[in-house]
Structure 1
Amino acid sequence: MVRKASRGNHMGVLQASPMSWNGAPALGGTPVVKKLVRLDVPVDKYPNFNFVGRLLGPRGNSLKRVEATTQCRVYIRGRGSVKDSVKEEKLRDKPGYEHLNEALHVLVEAEFPADIIDVRLNQAVTILEDLLKPMDESMDYYKKQQLRELAILNGTLREESPSPHLSPSVSPFNSAGMKRPKTGR
């Protein structure tokens, strides 16, 4: 049995009956509960802000960190959740993609013992709500960190002031700021 309880005007909680991790009814101890929280993304208010990019981060790493930290699953759903808009349009009415007819939103799913599930869900919601607050790029520390991480992943990071403890063999750039040629090692 699934029921929806409203929590404010921007999110709802879907709660399933107690189950164990393998889907069987929980036996003894604190029952394991599965809950789902929906957070609406304010795209109408901020149509030019890249919410999906901010949530995902470089190669999806930011979202993976939220999931690893909270042990909750996070799903980006609704219009604009598929990177390729042509592909999204083709998928819109297919089974399993009905969410594409809804406004952009985030679903947070948790499956924990009843005594700790709300703490975990609230932790995830707090982090995600913070990420869903648009801010000026010059003041956005989170975005600066994401761009730095992307540069590291791409091997294009240029430190503004060379660190004396960073040897040329560790840095992908030489002192002239040019990429070093690859060697056979």
Structure 2
Amino acid sequence: MGFLQTSTAGWNGAPGIIANPVLKKVIRMDVPVGKFPNFNFVGRLLGPRGNSLRRVEATTLCRVYIRGRGSVKDSVKEEKLRDKPGYEHLSEPLHVLLEAELPADIIDTRLRQAMNILEDLLKPVDESMDYYKKNQLRELAILNGTLREESPQMSPSVSPFNSTSMKRAKTGI
């Protein structure tokens, strides 16, 4: 793995000294679909509208790519893409690629942080005990404007106009 020079001057301004090179590393994590064929790993990783995956990326500064069989939502489309250039990964089992291009002093810490989060997400949990999925469903309800709080008093986020019987006007915001 190579590195890119980020600066030609060190902390004291001496030319030619690389203060902290930027490294690029990629880690592959296999998804245990063989052991748990009915578990929705892709949905758990992505979350509502991809928000869960984006949060992992924002928190760790690493990119996360879902690759392999089952990574394309439409299975018919996946079959058509399988032999096309750039889609060779569709012939492999489902996996996650974790990529970081960061300064050498933080890259390993950030990758380890991202791996820990993803390992937790890739552990199947009984739905009744799945706190993470409960939060994802709650977030989706908020995004869709269909959240109903369980307490009898109305919270500010709940409105009688946000029920399924009365749709909100779409706005361009």
Unaligned ranges ≥5, structure 2: 7-15
- The CA RMSD over aligned residues, in Å, is 2.0
Which residue does the alignment assign to 1:171? 158
Distance between the aligned counterparts of 2:137 and 2:66, measured in 1?
Answer: 21
Structure 2 residue corresponding to 1:62, chosen from 52, 55, 72: 52
TM-score of the two chains, using structure 1 as the length reference: 0.80
Which residue does the alignment assign to 1:154? 144
Aligned residue pairs: how many?
159
Which residue does the alignment assign to 1:86? 76
3-state DSSP of counterpart to 1:119: helix
Distance between the aligned counterparts of 2:2 and 2:117, measured in 1?
Answer: 26
Structure 1 residue 163 displacement after superposition: 3.8
Distance between the aligned counterparts of 2:92 and 2:167, measured in 1?
Answer: 49
Q: Which amino acid is 2:3 matched to?
A: P
Question: Are 2:5 and 2:18, in contact at CA under 8 Å, matched by a contact in 1?
Answer: no
Question: Are 2:3 and 2:22, in contact at CA under 8 Å, matched by a contact in 1?
Answer: yes
TM-score of the two chains, using structure 2 as the length reference: 0.85
Structure that is richer in strand per residue = 1
Structure that is richer in helix per residue = 2
Distance between the aligned counterparts of 1:182 and 1:146, measured in 2?
Answer: 22
Distance between the aligned counterparts of 1:182 and 1:49, measured in 2?
Answer: 33
Question: Are 2:48 and 2:137, in contact at CA under 8 Å, matched by a contact in 1?
Answer: yes
Q: Do the aligned partners of residues 57 and 178 (structure 1) sit closer, same or farther apart at CA in structure 2, a change above 3 Å counting?
A: closer
Identity %: 72
Distance between the aligned counterparts of 2:33 and 2:131, measured in 1?
Answer: 21
Spell out structure 1 runs of 4+ moving beyond 3 A. Answer: 177-183
Distance between the aligned counterparts of 1:181 and 1:67, measured in 2?
Answer: 33
3-state DSSP of counterpart to 1:148: helix
